[in-house]
Amino acid sequence: MKSQDNCIFCKIVAGQIPSNKLFEDDELLAFHDIHPKAPVHFLLIPKTHVDSLADCGPGEGDVLARIMLKVPELARQAGCDNGFRTVINTGPDGGQEVYHLHVHVLGGPREQWKAPAP
């Protein structure tokens, strides 16, 4: 489904659906994934709706940079001392299920990860 009006992550941003937040500022929100695939698994999203990475243009350059610079900071705070994985599923063949751009951040001991990781 591609509808900003019925977007679950926009509803999380608006506080209409609860989430377990790690971080929030004027542009970004990070919250724990509801079905974690690793001991640490959170999502970092722009508060402004954009369907996917494939729908980003120059206008999203600043927020994309902010997201990518925020990832290591939040990963460190979440205890990913030994590395982490970032995943951006994009489009049907990319396995994207929620059409509001999001970066998965996964970490923790690898033997504790569930397969398949996102």
Beta carbon of residue 100, minimum distance to Zn ion (angstroms, whole number): 3
Q: Give yes or no for residue 37 binding Zn ion (CB under 5 A).
A: no
DSSP string, 56-105: --GGGHHHHHHHHHHHHHHHHHTT-TT-EEEE---SGGGT--S-S--EEE
Q: Give least dist CB 34 to ligand AMP, A.
A: 4
Is residue 54 part of the contact set for ligand AMP (CB under 6 A)?
no
Show contacts with ligand AMP in window 59-88 (CB under 6 A). Answer: none
Looking at the DSSP bridge assignments, the partners of residue 106 are 41, 85
Return the number of the residue (29 or 38) whose C-beta is nearest Zn ion: 29
Residue among 14 and 81 whose Cβ is closer to ligand AMP: 14
Check residue 49 for interaction with Zn ion (CB under 5 A): yes
And the tokens for 18? Answer: 């609860």
The residues annotated as belonging to the active site are 102
> Cα separation of 79 and 77, whole Å?
5
Residue 100 touches Zn ion, criterion: CB under 5 A: yes
Indicate whether 52 belongs to the interface with ligand AMP (CB under 6 A).
no
Phi, psi (rounded to 5 degrees) for 69: -80, -25
